[in-house]
Amino acid sequence: MWVFAAEAVPTELLEAARIDGSGELRTFFRVALPLLVPGTVTVLLFSMVATWNNYFLPLIMIKDPDWYP
């Protein structure tokens, strides 16, 4: 997660936090994590929709219980 945060967050923000005296952990939780939340939620939603589609589509296609695996 640290490597991903370091690449996803602009370097200027991380350096500004270091200049202000923030440690690595505080920089992650106060600067990087809030910027990563929208992308994480988007990936979570796409993953949920894909999982639901993989479950629901076969359920619609196979209506007869005798055809169930």
pLDDT at 37: 92
Reduce the secondary structure of the chain to three states and give it as a string: CHHHHHHHCCHHHHHHHHHCCCCHHHHHHHHHHHHHHHHHHHHHHHHHHHHHHHHHHHHHHCCCHHHCC
pLDDT at 57: 82
Choice between 5 and 31, residue whose per-residue pLDDT is larger: 31
pLDDT at 46: 96
Cα distance between residue 63 and residue 1, in whole Å: 43
pLDDT tens column, 7-50: 777 889 889 999 999 999 999 899 989 998 998 999 999 999 99
